[in-house]
A and B are shown apart, each in its own frame.
Chain A
Amino acid sequence: MSDPALIRLSGVTKTYGQGPSAFQALKGIDLAIGQGEFVAIMGPSGSGKSTAMNILGCLDVPTDGSYEFQGVHVERLQRDERALLRRHFLGFVFQGFNLLARTTALENVELPLIYRGHDAGARHAAAREALRQVGLDGWEHHTPAELSGGQQQRVAIARAMVTSPLVLLADEPTGNLDTKTSREIMDLITSFNRDRGITVLMVTHEPDIAACARRVVRFVDGRVDSDRSHGEAA
């Protein structure tokens, strides 16, 4: 309780490659995010926002600096320990949906539960409920190829939310969708933040999408350029 922040980055740098061709994507990031926040990370291409997102999602480790998740130093964890962290606390939504092809919506949503070791009955019930929450009642047995982009992203959101994660990480969740569908997806994500208190970290380059968040962190050239909070969600 001494540290209210769920997530704390301190002096995080990330360097790709070595020697003269080395490229420093992050040049010292300090960022604290509290439980229940809705944060949009913005910035031009190459600003390091995706790199930061990968580190926040425990998919990558910082070259230097520290990343504390609930007080745990992620940079000191082994590969498998980070995997378990993702399994139990994080949910991912990607720009390209990243559903398993030729696999039904229900089985896609069940996937994280299988790795968590839930038995079949609990798994089916939870997956159906998650699909219902994203408005895909009756689409359980359709494969991604039979679903529209918006529907695929809903399945991806259901897959991320089915485990009731602490943090939902969304990397350009509306990047492949039209405006109307984007709005629906954002409503969904906003409702999870508002109604279930789930912390949302979202990378986007579209200002009207970022406007859904209560806090916007702007990256420029590997550093945090600005960090503003709106009062309530727009």
Chain B
Amino acid sequence: MLWNTLLLALRAIRRNLMRSFLTILGIVIGVAAVITMVTLGNGATKSVSDQIASMGSNLVMVVPGQRFGPGSGGAPNFKSADVEAVRSQISAAEWVAPVVSKSVTAVYQASNWATVVTGSNNDYFRAGNWELAHGRTFSETEERAGKAVCVIGATVREKLFGGQNPVGSEIRIKQFSCEVVGMLKPKGQSAMGSDQDDIVVMPLRTVQRRLSGSQDINRLSVSVRDGASIDAAKRQLTLLLRERRNIAENEEDDFRVMDTRQIAETLTGTTKILTMLLGAVAAVSLLVGGIGIMNIMLVSVTERTREIGIRLAIGALEREVLLQFLIEAVVLSSLGGLVGIALATGASMGLARVMGVPYIFDPAINIASFLFSAAIGVIFGYFPARRAAGLNPIDALRHE
């Protein structure tokens, strides 16, 4: 019975190709949209966490204020003495890099480029897993004397020098000239979406003296020794800095100590919310597709009531007619689901390449979308058919 009913269902689908196509179109688009959105969102999340991992899993950042991001909310910056204290008192700290950042415009001959100058020392390169492509890092004399030298990132090189080797050239920043002594290997986009290679590093003292005009330090990058506990290091850092910043026991920290895992969580949290939002929008389109199926199924069953009457008169059992309609609905919506998945796979792969995020196949969302489309087909195909199959054959035959 099942085989014969399947045959009847397939014949019915074939003889209404246009209607069948329209029925599955809604499901195809809905399923494809949901899967594509969620897949791209997952890819974006993955790419964020990958980039944070490239910062090194043992990196701890200390920023003033409680808020992550620019602006310290009135909390005082750090001082050089803080850096020394961390270096000497936190045994787990391998490299401690003070950071001062300043937005500037760098000029070389006719080219200029708005970038950020980071004032630090050679520990910055070590803590941040930076490697040199050309030239060298700073000498001790240059760091101590605050010489006008800099190491530039791949983006700055490209914008100012094109393909030329920049080492040995002089770039102008504000009122002074600065010799390029080294160039960093590219790292790509950062977790926040900014370009990590858009960077000019100078000795800390040079930036303090010539650009920021103060002894303040905006941020500390601390890399923890291999094998040492990051959590323990963070606790020690917090205690030390509370003491140095004279924070009473009942007061909250006016700085934040974060490891890369926390940064990753903060940032991937954002992309996850975006993924959910996009997924929700796409789910609405799947729902609309479902309503389309419902419409077509309802209309077609009304239209096909006479057909049901003919089948019943010929001697079809009510359950055979029902089964046929059920199979039709399941075949159509499953086909829609499968085509949707195929379309989504193609679209996600293409878009992932364009957007520069990895393509990650998510079986859960594929299965869920498929089941949802199948369920829509079953529900909206079955119930109208049940009404028609329950009719008296004569009434069904007379139906116009």
Q: Is A68 an interface residue (CB 8 A)?
A: no
* Cβ–Cβ contact B11 & A103, under 8 A: yes
User: Which residues from 291 to 311 on chain B have a C-beta closer than 8 Å to any C-beta of chain A?
Assistant: 306-307, 309-311
In the docked arrangement, what's the CA distance between A85 and B312, Å? 11
Give, as a whole number of angstroms, the nearest-CB distance from A127 to chain B.
13
In the docked arrangement, what's the CA distance between A51 and B318, Å? 22
In the docked arrangement, what's the CA distance between A117 and B2, Å? 10
Contact of A98 among B15, B310, B318 (CB under 8 A): B310
Q: Is B393 an interface residue (CB 8 A)?
A: yes
Of A60, A112, A114, the most chain B CB neighbours within 10 A belong to A114
* Cβ–Cβ contact B8 & A114, under 8 A: yes
Give, as a whole number of angstroms, the nearest-CB distance from A89 to chain B.
9
Contacts of B258 in A (CB 8 A): none
Contact of B306 among A92, A98, A102 (CB under 8 A): A98
* Cβ–Cβ contact A114 & B315, under 8 A: no
User: Which residues from 99 to 134 on chain A have a C-beta closer than 8 Å to any C-beta of chain B?
Assistant: 99-103, 107, 111-112, 114-117
Give, as a whole number of angstroms, the nearest-CB distance from A110 to chain B.
9
In the docked arrangement, what's the CA distance between A111 and B307, Å? 12
Contacts of A83 in B (CB 8 A): 312, 315-318
**Contacts A102-B15, A103-B11 given; does A115 touch B394 at CB 8 Å:** no
In the docked arrangement, what's the CA distance between A197 and B8, Å? 32
User: Which residues from 65 to 79 on chain B have a C-beta closer than 8 Å to any C-beta of chain A?
Assistant: none
**Contacts A94-B397, A107-B11, A115-B4 given; does A80 touch B313 at CB 8 Å:** no
**Which residue of chain A has its CB nearest to the CB of B303?**
A101
Q: Is B195 an interface residue (CB 8 A)?
A: no
Chain A interface residue count, CB cutoff 8 Å, equals 29
* Cβ–Cβ contact A59 & B4, under 8 A: no
Q: Is A88 an interface residue (CB 8 A)?
A: yes
Contact of A79 among B16, B311, B314, B318 (CB under 8 A): B318
Of B16, B312, B393, the most chain A CB neighbours within 10 A belong to B393
**Which residue of chain B has its CB nearest to the CB of A104?**
B15
* Cβ–Cβ contact A59 & B313, under 8 A: yes
* Cβ–Cβ contact B397 & A98, under 8 A: yes
Q: How large is the interface on B (under 10, 10 to 19, 20 to 34, 35 or more residues)?
A: 20 to 34
Give, as a whole number of angstroms, the nearest-CB distance from A171 to chain B.
10
Q: Is A87 an interface residue (CB 8 A)?
A: yes
* Cβ–Cβ contact A60 & B392, under 8 A: yes
Q: Is A182 an interface residue (CB 8 A)?
A: no
Give, as a whole number of angstroms, the nearest-CB distance from B381 to chain A.
19
* Cβ–Cβ contact A117 & B310, under 8 A: no
Q: Is A32 an interface residue (CB 8 A)?
A: no
Contacts of B394 in A (CB 8 A): 54, 59-60
Contacts of B81 in A (CB 8 A): none
* Cβ–Cβ contact A87 & B314, under 8 A: yes
Contacts of B1 in A (CB 8 A): 117
* Cβ–Cβ contact A84 & B310, under 8 A: no
Contacts of B309 in A (CB 8 A): 98
Contacts of A87 in B (CB 8 A): 314-316
**Which residue of chain B has its CB nearest to the CB of A143?**
B15
Q: Is A223 an interface residue (CB 8 A)?
A: no
In the docked arrangement, what's the CA distance between A60 and B392, Å? 8
**Which residue of chain B has its CB nearest to the CB of A85?**
B315
**Which residue of chain B has its CB nearest to the CB of A84?**
B315
* Cβ–Cβ contact A114 & B318, under 8 A: no
Q: Is A86 an interface residue (CB 8 A)?
A: yes
Please, could you name 26 A-B residue pairs with CB atoms under 8 Å apart, sorted by A? A54-B394, A57-B313, A59-B313, A59-B394, A60-B392, A79-B318, A80-B317, A83-B312, A83-B315, A84-B315, A86-B315, A87-B314, A87-B315, A92-B314, A98-B306, A98-B309, A100-B15, A102-B15, A103-B15, A112-B315, A114-B7, A115-B311, A115-B314, A115-B320, A116-B315, A117-B4
Q: Which residues of B contact A (CB under 8 A)?
A: 1, 4, 7-8, 11, 15-16, 306-307, 309-320, 392-394, 397
Additional 7 contacts, C-beta under 8 A, given A59-B392, A107-B11: A59-B393, A84-B317, A92-B314, A111-B314, A115-B314, A115-B316, A115-B320
